[in-house]
Amino acid sequence: MNAHAAATPTELSGIELAHPIINGSGTFDAIAARRVFGDALIGQFPFAAFVSKTVTVAPREGNPPPRLWETPGGLINSIGLPNKGLRRYLAEDLPELAALPVPLIVNVMGFTGDEVVELVSAFSVRDEVAALELNVSCPNVETGLVMGADPGEVTALLRRVRPLTEKPLIVKLTPNATDVVAVARAAQDAGASAVSLINTIRGMALDPRTGHPWLGGTTGGVSGPAVRAVALAQVHAVARGVGIPIVAMGGVQNGRDALDLIMAGATVVAVGTESFRDPAAGTRISRELAALCENSSISRHGTPLNC
């Protein structure tokens, strides 16, 4: 079997994927990329599913610049979830994203339980949407707690929204939690179809000329190979704590990194920051992963490998 054929189809909560590599939410804008690369983007689409940037109920302009800071082996971003808001996303972006050659996973975030209900309800009835990913890395303005940092918050949220849709619900875990495994268990027990991790790790940089915070949002999220070891440890721990599928991400740059996360328990691996360096990185990584799986002594010795 050649490397291409070895890009084995994968299944995630009933969604059929041509291979196990997708994108992390907010790391690839397929609509902008279509403007830049034209039809080549569609013909050579690098991911087996497309995960949208976070959609909120109200439009958001995002954080003031500067929004980026390069770190050793990574970057800190303070983007602030800019998006058109639910109404314009449904009218303008969803039809364009539905034309992509892969399943669409829409990432949503609400600042209250009611907002999450509104978002899940709106997308639940859209056939273009294969699954929903819940971004719970924000504070609940009613309780002041970061939803994804507290198992009780996650349980309460899932109990409200799980009955609203038959689509798979993926809970995007934040690494900025005391006990990520407890949050993952809470998500599973309240009906989450899968969990995805890790989101970015909170970080900060100071302007060397002023000593004041560089980023317009004061702090930001660290991503890239700098966080890969953290991601591997958290995926490994969560995989031992839950039975639902895991979408793993964090600093994946090549097929070896993806295979590590799969060996640690992931079903699907997402690429984020590496796409900034090479827009077609997803294609390269899925090929490298397929070749590794084909040649891997691990797979030949019967260890379950989902790649």
Partner 1 sequence: MSAEQRVRRPLSADSPARRPLSAGSRVLAPFSRRAARVLERRVYGAYVVLRCADPDGPRPRAGQFYMLAARRWGGGDGERPFLPRAFSVLRSGADHERAFLIEDVGPGTHRLCELQAGEDLLLVGPLGLGFGAPEDARRPLLVGGGVGIAPLAIWQDELGGASALVGFRDAPRAEGARLLADARVATDDGSVGHRGLVTDLLREELDGDAHATVYACGPPAMLESVRVLCAARETPAQLALESGMACGFGACFGCVVPTRRGYIRLCVDGPVVDAAELETAMVAGMGH
CB nearer to partner 1: give 83 or 234: 83
Enumerate the H helices of the chain as residue ranges: 30-37, 39-43, 86-88, 94-98, 113-124, 151-161, 180-189, 228-241, 255-263, 273-277, 281-295, 297-300
Contact 160/136 with Cβ under 8 angstroms? no
- How near is the Cβ of 60 to partner 1 at its closest, in Å? 10
- Per CB under 8 A, the segment of 108-116, 129-137, 164-172, 270-278 that binds partner 1 is 270-278
- Per CB under 8 A, the segment of 13-21, 31-39, 114-122, 189-197 that binds partner 1 is 31-39
The answer to whether 190 contacts partner 1 (rule: CB under 8 A) is no
Subset of residues 220 to 239 that bind partner 1, contact rule: CB under 8 A: 224
CB nearer to partner 1: give 135 or 267: 135
Q: Give every CB contact of residue 7 below 8 A, 6+ residues apart in sequence.
A: 18, 19, 286, 287, 289, 290
* Residues in binding contact with partner 1, number by CB under 8 A: 52
Of 18, 23, 22, give the one whose Cα is nearest residue 5: 18
Sign of dihedral through CA atoms 286, 23, 188, 228? positive
| 16, 44, 87, 303: which one binds partner 1 (CB under 8 A) | 44
| 3, 73, 112, 181: which one binds partner 1 (CB under 8 A) | 73
CB nearer to partner 1: give 71 or 296: 71
String of contacts with partner 1 for each residue 92-131, x by CB under 8 A:
---xx-xxx---------------------------x---
CA distance 193 to 44: 29
| 38, 85, 101, 152: which one binds partner 1 (CB under 8 A) | 38
Of 259, 145, 265, give the one whose Cα is nearest residue 194: 265
Is 307 considered catalytic here? no
| 10, 12, 25, 69: which one binds partner 1 (CB under 8 A) | 69
Burial (Cβ within 10 Å: 0-12, 13-18, ≥19) of residue 241: middle
The answer to whether 27 contacts partner 1 (rule: CB under 8 A) is yes
Enumerate the H helices of 147-225 as residue ranges: 151-161, 180-189
CA distance 230 to 300: 28
| 20, 74, 148, 203: which one binds partner 1 (CB under 8 A) | 74
Helix axes 228-241, 255-263, angle to 10 degrees: 30
| 3, 18, 34, 84: which one binds partner 1 (CB under 8 A) | 34
| 13, 137, 196, 275: which one binds partner 1 (CB under 8 A) | 275
CB nearer to partner 1: give 140 or 253: 253
Of 194, 144, 152, give the one whose Cα is nearest residue 173: 194
Catalytic one among 68, 117, 138, 291? 138
Contact 191/38 with Cβ under 8 angstroms? no
CB nearer to partner 1: give 75 or 171: 75
| 117, 280, 291, 305: which one binds partner 1 (CB under 8 A) | 280
Helix axes 113-124, 151-161, angle to 10 degrees: 40
Contact 195/267 with Cβ under 8 angstroms? no
CA distance 94 to 125: 13
Catalytic residues: 138
Give the interface with partner 1 as residue ranges (CB under 8 A).
26-38, 40-42, 44, 53, 61-62, 64-75, 77, 79, 82, 95-96, 98-100, 128, 209, 214, 216, 224, 273, 275-280
